[in-house]
Amino acid sequence: MRAILVVNPQATSTTAGGRDVLAHALASQVKLDVVETDYRGHALAVARSAARDGYDLVVAHGGDGTVNEVVNGLLADSAGAPGRSGSVPMLGVVPGGSANVFARAIGLPADPVEATHQVLTALETERTRRIGLGLADGHWFTFNAGLGWDADVVGRVAKRRGKQTSASLYLRAAVRSYFRPPLGRPALTVRIPGEEPAEAVTAFVSNTDPWTYLGERPVHLNPGCSFETGLGLFALNGLRLPTVFTHVRQALLTESDQHGRRLLRRDDVPLIRIDAAEPVNFQVDGDLVGQRTRVEFQSVPDALTVVA
């Protein structure tokens, strides 16, 4: 089996020693190449080349941004067609970031050494799973994408690159973005096939649940959403403080069932389109993509094979 280990040396919890241990362990089971990324988009380029060169496995060691780049590289030539993505390399993940949402969602421990052991065991026993992904405006996402407030938060955090990300940093960015939205609060129109259009001011589209973590605490928006279902939609048509507090409290409950008169929530949706009256921030897997006035979100079942 030919494999590539893609390491982001700038990720929060990656170290040279950890990289070497991981590489040595993987090399005992596969024919391994190791690449360290040194610019934005490098992991995508490596994964795309690996898919074209017929590699069997690509292991991403870094945070959710690294994983997202690798996924987009693996599926770069699939044109969004599920049938064409079956020939791409398998994906392995060893968490190395601060949140590691995707790694946790597929059942990997947060500790890189423990996660490495689990990946190696999965390789030895040929334990894999097929997962569905989301596709939005040409960008694949593994766990979440959004327009509005959450993307504003991501944008604020992105400006602090070089500063270690943490739950407190995201909380501060959320508060600032709430009271001083960088692009205001343009109206969003949410369109789901077979339903009447609905108005919103912020929208989250999830591919699994939990959507993210507040430290060790999972944040639930769409409990009925998973890698085996369609997309989950969580959109609010108002952001007054009582509304925000209500849904933050619900999101942090273990048995969350989000509901409220300001909330539009759907689970297992194949297609969602969101139009904005003015450009709004757009994020994918916690990475700011840019500004958009229209994004179509598509669920792609069985898009990728994961070693976990």
In sequence order, what DSSP letters do the residues of 92-126 get, joined into one string? EEEE-SSS-HHHHHTT--SSHHHHHHHHHHHHHHT
Question: What's the pLDDT tens digit per position in 163-183?
Answer: 566 677 888 888 999 999 989
Q: In the chain, what are the helix, strand and coil shares in percent, each to the nearest 5?
A: 30, 35, 35
Going from N- to C-terminal start, the domains of the chain cover 2-126, 144-299
Q: What is the pLDDT of residue 82?
A: 52
pLDDT of residue 256 exceeding 70:
no
Q: What is the pLDDT of residue 98?
A: 82
Closest CA to 68 of 117, 4, 123, 136: 136
Torsional class of 290: left (φ above 0), alpha (ψ -120 to 50), beta (otherwise) = left
Confidence of residue 149 (pLDDT cuts 50, 70, 90): very high
Model pTM score: 0.92
Q: 116-139 burial, b for 16+ CB within 10 Å, e for fewer?
A: bebbbebbeeeebeebbbbbbeeb
- Topology, domain 2-126: Rossmann fold (3.40.50)
> CA 141, CA 110: separation in Å to the nearest integer?
20
In the chain, pLDDT over 90 holds for what percent of residues?
72
> CA 271, CA 232: separation in Å to the nearest integer?
10
Tell me the backbone φ, ψ of residue 143, rounded to 5 degrees: -130, -30
> Which of 148-152, 229-233, 252-256 shows the lowest per-residue confidence on average (mean pLDDT)?
252-256
Higher-pLDDT residue of 145 and 158 is 145
pLDDT of residue 129 exceeding 50:
yes
- Topology, domain 144-299: Tumour Suppressor Smad4 (2.60.200)
> CA 47, CA 57: separation in Å to the nearest integer?
10
Closest CA to 292 of 303, 304, 302, 278: 278
